[in-house]
Chains A and B, each alone.
Chain A
Amino acid sequence: MASDLQSLLNSRHITDPAIIGIHTGGAWIAEQIHRQLRPEQPLGTLNITFYRDDFTRIGLHPQVEPSNLPFSVDDRHIVLIDDVLHTGRTIRAAMNEIFDYGRPASIILATLVERSGRELPICADVAGERLSLEAHQHVKLTGPDPLELLIQESK
Chain B
Amino acid sequence: MKRQDIQCDSQGQLRHFLTIEGHKRETLTQILDTAENFVTVGNQPVKKVPLLRGKTIVNLFFESSTRTRTTFELAAKRLSADVLNININTSSTSKGESLLDMLHNLEAMHCDMFVVRHEQSGAAHFIAQHVAPHISIINAGDGRHAHPTQAMLDVFTIRKHKPDFTALRVAIVGDLMHSRVARSQIHALNTLGVPEIRAIGPCTLIPPYLQQMGVHIYNDVREGLKDVDVVIMLRLQRERMDGALLPSELEYFQTYGLTQEKLALAKPDAIVMHPGPINRGVEIESSVADGPQSVILEQVSNGIAVRMAIMSMVLGRKPSGEEGEA
Taking Cβ atoms with an 8 Å cutoff, the residues of A that contact B are: 47, 49-52, 54-63, 66-68, 82-87, 89-90, 96-97, 100-102, 138
Contact = CB atoms under 8 A, between A and B. Distances in A.
14 contacts: A49-B37, A50-B50, A51-B49, A51-B51, A57-B318, A57-B319, A59-B317, A59-B319, A60-B51, A63-B36, A66-B39, A67-B37, A86-B325, A101-B44
B46 A66 contact: no
A100 B44 contact: yes
Given A59-B13, A63-B33, A82-B326, A50 B44 contact: no
Nearest to B324: A58
Interface in B27-53: 30, 33-34, 36-41, 44-46, 48-51
B323 interface: yes
B316 interface: yes
A60 B50 contact: no
Given A55-B316, A84-B326, A63 B34 contact: yes
A51 B41 CA distance: 12
Interface string B304-318: 000000001100111
Interface string B146-163: 000000000000000000
Contacts of A100: 44-46, 48-49
A78 to B, nearest CB: 15
Given A100-B48, A138-B325, A59 B318 contact: yes
Contacts of A51: 49-51
B240 to A, nearest CB: 36
B322 interface: yes
Nearest to A154: B325
A135 to B, nearest CB: 11
A111 to B, nearest CB: 10
Contacts of B48: 100
Contact of A47 (B37, B45, B323): B37
Given A61-B324, A87-B326, 16 more contacts: A50-B51, A55-B316, A57-B324, A58-B324, A60-B34, A60-B312, A63-B34, A63-B36, A67-B40, A84-B326, A86-B325, A97-B49, A100-B46, A100-B49, A102-B45, A138-B325
A51 B49 CA distance: 7
B312 A66 contact: no
Contacts of B36: 63, 66
A60 B34 CA distance: 9
Interface residues of B, number: 28
Contacts of B39: 66
A59 B51 contact: no
Contacts of B319: 57, 59
A66 B49 CA distance: 13
B49 to A, nearest CB: 4
Contact of B37 (A59, A66, A86, A97): A66
Given A55-B316, A60-B316, A100-B48, A50 B33 contact: no
A154 to B, nearest CB: 10
B50 A58 contact: no
A101 B326 CA distance: 22
Closest 6 interchain pairs by CB?
A59-B318, A50-B49, A60-B316, A100-B46, A59-B316, A58-B324
